[in-house]
Amino acid sequence: MWYRTAKAYEARHRRSLESDRGKAWGLFRVPERHLNLLGDVSGRRVLELGCGAADWSIALARDGARVVALDFSAERLDQAREAVSRAAAHVALVEANAESIPFPDGYFDLVLSDYGATTFADPRRTVPEVGRVLRTGGVFVFAHASPFRSVTEDFEADRLQQRLVRDYFGLRVLRAPESVEFQLPYGEWVRLFASCGLLVDRLVEPQAPRSRQSTYLSSQGQGWARHWPVESIWRLVKARPVGASQSHQRITSRRPGLVARPGESAQSRAGTPE
């Protein structure tokens, strides 16, 4: 999907993605300064899962974070590389699979994903990986579709219905015409977090504003989102190490562990960023 749509996506959403200097969440670009989900990032090791063109990563690097931006799409990483170079930001770019993160246990202080890998990768594999690479006391923040959206979205009609169109119980894989997305019922999300040593600190469910239109929703969808939550933003804290018995089988990424810094190709460096 990203091979076909990366350029069109950037053209359509660029102004939205640049809002609040790149530090804004979700479909409605809610400013981080209003939500304060990340806290002070200066000096912290940060991993962005599914970085796209790296707007978040660049913004956090400007705030003094030591940032790694990971994506599985070579096309999106090409866009990220250009953006990092233009911004002269210190961001390490990694082409890898979020279901098998190529970093050691407890390496990061903060992991975030804004409709990134947490949407397109299996949470039963990504969440344990996040729990593994986070240090105790570290924070995981991610934005993705709400289960409300998942049980009411009619892909064939391309609209959010005011009725249920699929079962809530058993939610996992949603097959849209051009992509596959993942979702779980709320109870399964919470149980999965707990099994990985992650405790829920906050759940933000933004309501669609009347003052401006999201570039990600039709007018009909924006109207729908004034009545029901269309997205969820979770903030989780790593409370304890996860025992070996809770580890899962890791998937080998297409080209794991490849790291590129500004001005380098994705194939030019390998290893863990300093």
- Tell me, what CATH number does 15's domain have? 3.40.50.150
Task: Check pLDDT > 60 for residue 249.
Answer: no
The structural domain count of the chain equals 1
Q: Residue 255 has what pLDDT?
A: 37
pLDDT tens sequence across 115-160: 999 999 999 999 999 999 999 999 999 999 999 999 999 998 999 9
Mean pLDDT across 154-169: 95
For 47, 113, 153, 257, the CA distances from 270, given in Å and listed in that order, are: 17, 23, 41, 6
* Residue 43 per-residue DSSP state: T
Share of the chain above pLDDT 90, in %: 76
Helix, strand or coil for residue 223? Answer: helix
Task: Please tell me the number of Cα atoms within 13 Å of 61 on its side-chain side.
Answer: 22
Determine the structural domain holding residue 132 and report its residue range. 2-22+29-270
Q: Where are the beta strands (DSSP E) in 43-100?
A: 45-49, 66-71, 91-95
Average pLDDT over residues 240-267: 43
CA distance to 1, 156, 157, 271, per residue, from 177 (Å): 10, 8, 11, 36
Proportion of the chain in helix, strand, coil states, percent, rounded to 5: 30, 25, 45
Q: Which pLDDT score is estimated for 242?
A: 62
Measured distance CA(203)–CA(25) in Å, rounded: 13
Measured from the Cβ of residue 153, the count of other Cβ atoms closer than 10 Å reads 21
- The pLDDT of residue 20: 76
pLDDT bracket for residue 243 (50, 70, 90): low
- Comparing CA positions, the residue from 251, 123, 248, 127 lying closest to residue 183 is 123
- Identify which has the larger pLDDT, 266 or 161: 161
Tell me what pLDDT residue 205 has: 98
Instruction: Provide the β-strand partners of residue 30.
Output: 25
* E-strand stretches of 91-183: 91-95, 108-114, 134-145, 153-154, 159-160, 173-175, 180-182
The answer to whether the beta carbons of residues 133 and 100 sit under 8 Å apart is no
Say what angle helices 55-62 and 74-87 make with each other, to 10 degrees.
Answer: 30
In which band, very low, low, confident or very high, does the pLDDT at 49 lie, cut at 50, 70 and 90?
Answer: very high
pTM of this structure: 0.87
Nearest in space to 100 (alpha carbons), one of 257, 273, 250: 250
